[in-house]
Chains A and B, each alone.
Chain A
Amino acid sequence: MAVLPEADRDELLAKMCRDFSKLRESTSLTKPDLRAAIDAADLWADTNSAAYNTALPQPARAELTAKQKAMLLMLVITRRWEVT
């Protein structure tokens, strides 16, 4: 899978701005700063997707679909950092 299209990254920026506002979490990042971080996170996910897949043990690696593996990673990260 390639990196996200620009429009998708734009939507993620909009969503993060809305989430910061809802939670009223202060940030000194500007929109360009935040967008650069989104771009980097997306690139990192793309670059390391094969390594993540290899890290999963069998039979999960063979049986889970790509979306299920993504959900697994999202749930673990969400729980580790208690992101709501």
Chain B
Amino acid sequence: MATRYVFLPYSAEFPATTLPELLHIQRRPVLAFDAAADEVCYWTCIAPQGMTAPLTAILTYMMASATAGNVMMDVAIEAVSDGDATDLDAGVSFATTNLSSATAVPATAGFIDQLSITLTNNDSIAAGDYVRIWVNRDANHASDTATGDLYLLSVELRDAA
């Protein structure tokens, strides 16, 4: 696997509502995803040359307070190729989300964990595509049982190369 992108909190893009809060924890920027309601943010990139599927998203996070329970995160891809009939000023075109398995949080709040999601649904991403990545905490999923915020530190995108 090769790292293709690392997305950090400062470069996140946000919807008008239901967005994670950008905080600083010990001066580290984090995106705080609520425990009770789904919140989403995005990152934009251009798919690099030589990129090969399958893609994997590695989410590095820590918990604000929970020391038990699981979290559920999902990642979706919107990939627009040159010549696609996708009207970007009319709406969005994300593929089906890729949901993580129920991931047990670290036993100490503040310890990091890395959660891996295979992006099986990748909107047929190809080198050169204009790409957006959506990251969401599926807080109302029955298997998302950890209380308190999830602090997302980074999202690493790897390909199969």
Contact = CB atoms under 8 A, between A and B. Distances in A.
Interface of A: 10, 13-14, 16-18, 20-21, 23-32, 34
B54 interface: no
A45 B66 CA distance: 27
Contact of A18 (B34, B108, B110): B34
A21 B36 CA distance: 12
B67 A31 contact: no
Nearest to B36: A14
B147 A27 contact: yes
A30 B146 contact: yes
Contacts of A23: 65
Q: List the 8 closest pairs (A to B, CB-CB), nearest first.
A: A14-B36, A17-B35, A21-B64, A30-B69, A21-B149, A20-B65, A30-B145, A28-B68
A20 B148 contact: yes
Interface of B, secondary structure class, is: loop
B34 A17 contact: yes
14 contacts: A17-B36, A18-B148, A20-B64, A21-B65, A24-B64, A24-B65, A24-B109, A24-B110, A28-B67, A30-B66, A30-B147, A31-B36, A31-B69, A34-B147
Interface string B121-161: 00000000000000000000000111111000000000000
Interface residues on B, range: 20 to 34
Given A20-B65, A26-B65, A32 B145 contact: yes
A21 B151 CA distance: 10
A48 B81 CA distance: 65
B148 A27 contact: yes
Given A30-B146, A31-B146, 13 more contacts: A14-B34, A18-B34, A21-B64, A24-B64, A24-B65, A25-B65, A26-B65, A26-B108, A27-B66, A27-B67, A27-B68, A29-B68, A31-B35
B113 to A, nearest CB: 15
Nearest to A13: B36
Contacts of B34: 14, 17-18
Interface in B57-91: 64-69
B12 to A, nearest CB: 18
A57 to B, nearest CB: 39
A23 B68 CA distance: 17
